[in-house]
Copies of this chain bind each other. A is one copy, B any other.
Amino acid sequence: MKISVIGATGYAGAELLRLLYGHPEAKLVHITSESHKGEKIASLYPNLRGLCDLTLESMQDMEKIGADSDFVFIALPHGHAMEVGKGLAHLPVRIIDLGADYRFKDTAVYEAWYHVPHTHKEAERVYGLAELYREDIRRAKIIGNAGCFTTASILALAPLAKEKLVDMQSIVIDAKSGVSGAGRSPKQGNHFPELYDNFKAYNVAHHRHTPEIEQALTDLSGETTVLNFTPHLVPMSRGILATSYAHLREGVTAEEVGAAFHSLYDNEYFIRLLGEGGYPSTKEVRGSNFTDLAWHIDDRTHRVIVLSAIDNLVKGAAGQAIQNFNIACGFDEKTGLDFVPMYP
């Protein structure tokens, strides 16, 4: 399959290039960057030195890019992907957007949280969280790849929501991410000496991944879900750990909780269940597309606490995009993604 990557110079775009290098069915045809057009990608990402000789192009001639490609992966800031999507609507090319533009069924929710008008409301789109929306992904024209925090959070709570084991209004998700999640542009707050040996929260009560998590859990539980999501920055480059809390409904047993996880995930290659009492860690999934999951039940408070770990750039971005690509193409889902996390 011929693939183009629009916005190849951010961390998610570069991670796509890393992973597509090892994909036997993918051939890169165009990669774009407006600010670095004409430069070799390897001059910006020297890890690619000798491995990827492509030159960054402008995305101005989208018509040609679309015509040359079977799939276009978009890794642009929100608000820009829908312009690309509209421009490609008349072509047979399929689209996987790593940003937020195509993640919401109700574009009013998007507009309320992202503060931009949605200009492609009629797009035929599906939510790209592979384990939960696989059937829709197979045939989709546009896949709105799930976000990083949202993937870790939704996968943690989906079994409980689906089986109606918890009070959906009691959910608190406390999430922690490595700094690559904040992008490649240098800012004061991400300057090395400021973050190193430091830990802090950000965007409390208004992070944009909140409505995306709520949409999926509402969908799974059939109950309108409003929850707290709090992101934190961990002084490391990669990885997300989400700690999710919910009250068990009256009478729910540990066995039912365990059964819900096993029933939903036992056949999922990219989900590794550590079981009740386990402790996933970000390093154990680093560089891979795995989601490691464990749960704990507190009999004193009748809460279930779910721990989920992913690599934010792989399962939280580029890896999941490729997993969706594999599904959309009918390939084995782990094609190009079948390797061991890098440890230590």
Residues of B contacting A303 in the complex (Cβ-Cβ under 8 angstroms)? 172, 228
- Cross-chain contact A340 with B18 (CB below 8 angstroms): yes
- Cross-chain contact B199 with A228 (CB below 8 angstroms): no
Bound-complex Cα distance A202 to B22 (A)? 32
A263 close to chain B: CB less than 8 A:
no
Residues of B contacting A239 in the complex (Cβ-Cβ under 8 angstroms)? 197-199
Residues of B contacting A305 in the complex (Cβ-Cβ under 8 angstroms)? 204-205, 228, 230
- Cross-chain contact B197 with A180 (CB below 8 angstroms): no
Q: Which residue of B lies closest to A281 (CB)?
A: B200
Near B by CB (< 8 A), chain A positions 294-312 give 296-298, 300-301, 303, 305, 307, 309
Interface residue tally for chain A (C-beta within 8 Å):
86
A235 close to chain B: CB less than 8 A:
yes
A342 close to chain B: CB less than 8 A:
yes
Q: Which of A26-34, A42-50, A80-88, A97-105 lines the interface with chain B? A: A42-50
- Cross-chain contact B201 with A243 (CB below 8 angstroms): yes
A329 close to chain B: CB less than 8 A:
no
Residues of B contacting A284 in the complex (Cβ-Cβ under 8 angstroms)? 46-47, 49
Q: Which of A134-142, A157-165, A186-194 lines the interface with chain B? A: A186-194
A343 and B18 in contact (CB under 8 A), knowing A11-B193, A199-B282, A284-B47?
yes
- Cross-chain contact A184 with B191 (CB below 8 angstroms): yes
Most B CB within 10 A of own CB, among A178, A201, A341: A201
- Cross-chain contact A199 with B176 (CB below 8 angstroms): yes
Residues of B contacting A285 in the complex (Cβ-Cβ under 8 angstroms)? 47
A205 and B297 in contact (CB under 8 A), knowing A186-B187, A305-B230?
yes
- Cross-chain contact B279 with A201 (CB below 8 angstroms): yes
Residues of B contacting A199 in the complex (Cβ-Cβ under 8 angstroms)? 176, 178, 234, 236, 239, 241, 281-282
A242-278 interface code vs B (CB 8 A; 1 in, 0 out): 0101000000000000000000000001001010000
Bound-complex Cα distance A47 to B272 (A)? 10
A141-169 interface code vs B (CB 8 A; 1 in, 0 out): 00000000000000000000000000001
Chain B: minimal CB distance from A45 (Å): 6
Residues of B contacting A192 in the complex (Cβ-Cβ under 8 angstroms)? 179, 190-192, 195-196, 235, 237
Q: Which residue of B lies closest to A196 (CB)?
A: B237
Q: Which residue of B lies closest to A339 (CB)?
A: B22
Q: Which residue of B lies closest to A18 (CB)?
A: B340
A238 close to chain B: CB less than 8 A:
yes
A280-296 interface code vs B (CB 8 A; 1 in, 0 out): 11111111101010001
22 example contacts (A-B, Cβ-Cβ < 8 A) are as follows A17-B340, A46-B292, A46-B343, A47-B285, A47-B286, A47-B341, A176-B232, A180-B344, A186-B188, A197-B197, A197-B283, A199-B241, A200-B282, A204-B279, A204-B305, A205-B300, A227-B301, A228-B301, A232-B241, A234-B234, A235-B236, A339-B339
A interface vs B, CB < 8 Å? 11, 14, 17-18, 21-22, 45-52, 169, 172, 174, 176, 178-180, 184-188, 190-202, 204-205, 226-228, 230, 232, 234-239, 241, 243, 245, 269, 272, 274, 279-288, 290, 292, 296-298, 300-301, 303, 305, 307, 309, 338-344
For the complex of A and B, the 4 pairs showing the least CB-CB separation, nearest first, are A200-B281, A198-B283, A174-B174, A193-B344
